[in-house]
Structure 1
Amino acid sequence: MAYSNNIQNPETQVPQTPDMNDRDFINDVLSTEKYIASSYNIAMNEASHEALYNDISSIFQETQTCQRNLFNLMFKKGWYSFEAADQQTLTQSHQQFTGYMSQLPSGGMLQ
């Protein structure tokens, strides 16, 4: 038996037809939510009026929550998977990040 580095739930089967199935619809909505969240992020960065910024920020947060819920649903149904990182890769990334942090003023703490 080959070891798999994938982290994934058992896949919920969907019909393999030319028509869109549940997985296709959810994936389409998830992609749309990601695009919308990115657009709201840009709008927040460019909002000069505080009340407008707060309104966009609130909508952005709702969009992020919706996106996360869709992602969780896809992962639960086995339609989204991850490749597990090995310990050596994690250690190297941690050391690299620690090196970057030590180069920042105040040891990485923003004032």
Structure 2
Amino acid sequence: MNQPNQPNPNVIKNPQTGQLPQVKGPEMNERDFLNDMLATEKYLTDNFNILAREASHQSLNGEALRILNETHQAARTLFNLMFEKGWYQLTAASPQEISQTGTQFQNYRSQEPYHS
């Protein structure tokens, strides 16, 4: 177990850039704005995915797919910016976790009616 104030070796992140207040007031800072924008892009991709899947008109489907791709790209750009600034972190998976997930999805695949 990690000791207090020692970095977790499984956490993947960049050092934070800029000065964020230790105690934050109600005002929004750059991190808050980027986080809000990323959440909005995630919401949009979810909904444009539904539209693209369910659009019965070919032109509407094509336009929904185009916009869906744009919203995914915007979300990725925001994620990259937040990650670069150290405001978004990931936890590395262990080889055992990766193997278990691979096995889990192989089991799902064997349950598909038309798997090869």
TM-score bin, normalised by smaller chain: 0.7 to 0.9
Q: After superposition, what is the alpha-carbon deviation per residue over 1:24-75, rounded to whole angstroms, capped at 9, x for unaligned?
A: 1111111111111111111112211000110111111111101110011111
Write the distance in 2 (CA, Å) between the matches of 1:60 and 1:81.
25
Write the distance in 1 (CA, Å) between the matches of 2:112 and 2:50.
26
Q: In the alignment, which residue of structure 2 is the partner of 1:71?
A: 79
Aligned pair count? 108
Q: Which moved more, 1:64-73 or 1:36-45?
A: 36-45
Question: Is 1:80–2:88 an aligned residue pair?
Answer: yes
Q: Give unmatched runs, 5+ long, in structure 2.
A: none
Q: For 1:1-111, what aligned pairs fall within 5 Å after superposition? A: 2=6, 4=8, 5-16=10-21, 17-18=24-25, 19-104=27-112, 108-109=115-116
Write the distance in 2 (CA, Å) between the matches of 1:14 and 1:30.
21
Calculate the aligned-residue CA RMSD, in Å: 1.9
Indicate if the aligned counterparts of 1:9 and 1:78 stay in contact, CA closer than 8 A: yes
Letter in 2 for 1:63: T
Instruction: Give 1:103 shift.
Output: 4.1
Letter in 2 for 1:59: I
Misfit runs of 4+, over 6 Å:
none
Higher share in helix:
1
Q: Give unmatched runs, 5+ long, in structure 1.
A: none
Q: Which moved more, 1:86-95 or 1:60-69?
A: 86-95
TM-score by length of 2: 0.81
**Percentage of pairs with the same residue:** 44
